[in-house]
Amino acid sequence: MENDFAVFGGGCFWCLEAIFERYDGVVSVISGYAGGKSPNPTYKEVCSGNTGHAEVVKIEFDSEKISFKDLIEIFWTCHDPTTLNKQGEDVGTQYRSIILCKTEDEKLFAEKSKLEAQKDFDKPIVTEISKLENFYKAEESHQDYYKNNSNQPYCYYVIKPKLEKLKLKK
């Protein structure tokens, strides 16, 4: 059976990549860009805010071990979906909370999931739910960033605490 995939954005793609790689059934996590209008964007172009793209991860998964539903539940808990274009100190449209769907069924499921997740938040969820048009893989320097740079200040002060928090919930 062929693996499925999901595409989510929730702040810096380094964070999401480090989080989703830790789950059984996740085959691979690729950092990239999606949700915008510019073809083949670069990191610098996405950071300018002019492409419309968000930093996202493409999560390839074995649906016999982990489901799209499981991945969305992780998504709601691993970032703050109530902050518009912002996660922590990362600010800009490229850091928006977004679920990009391949099918209408996925979109309907994501919308229902968003309504359910709202019960866990005091402020309104601002996560965008859109059709996946294109996914562009980010530069190699962004792939496996946490694995390769865990002692960098951003990794130590931003990503590591998120991973510790999730350990408590698993």
Does domain 4-169 fall into CATH 3.30.1490.100? no
What are 89-120's pLDDT values in tens digits?
899 999 999 999 999 999 999 999 999 999 99
Domain extents for the chain? 4-169
Q: Could you tell me the pTM of the whole model?
A: 0.94
Q: How crowded is the C-beta side of 69, counted as CA atoms within 13 Å? A: 5
String of DSSP letters for 104-170: HHHHHHHHHHHHHHGGG-SSPP--EEEE---EEEPPGGGTTHHHHHTTSHHIIIIIHHHHHHHHHH-
What are 62-74's pLDDT values in tens digits?
999 999 999 999 9
Catalytic amino acids? Answer: 12
C-alpha closest to that of 96 among 165, 16, 162, 18? 16
C-alpha closest to that of 16 among 25, 26, 2? 26
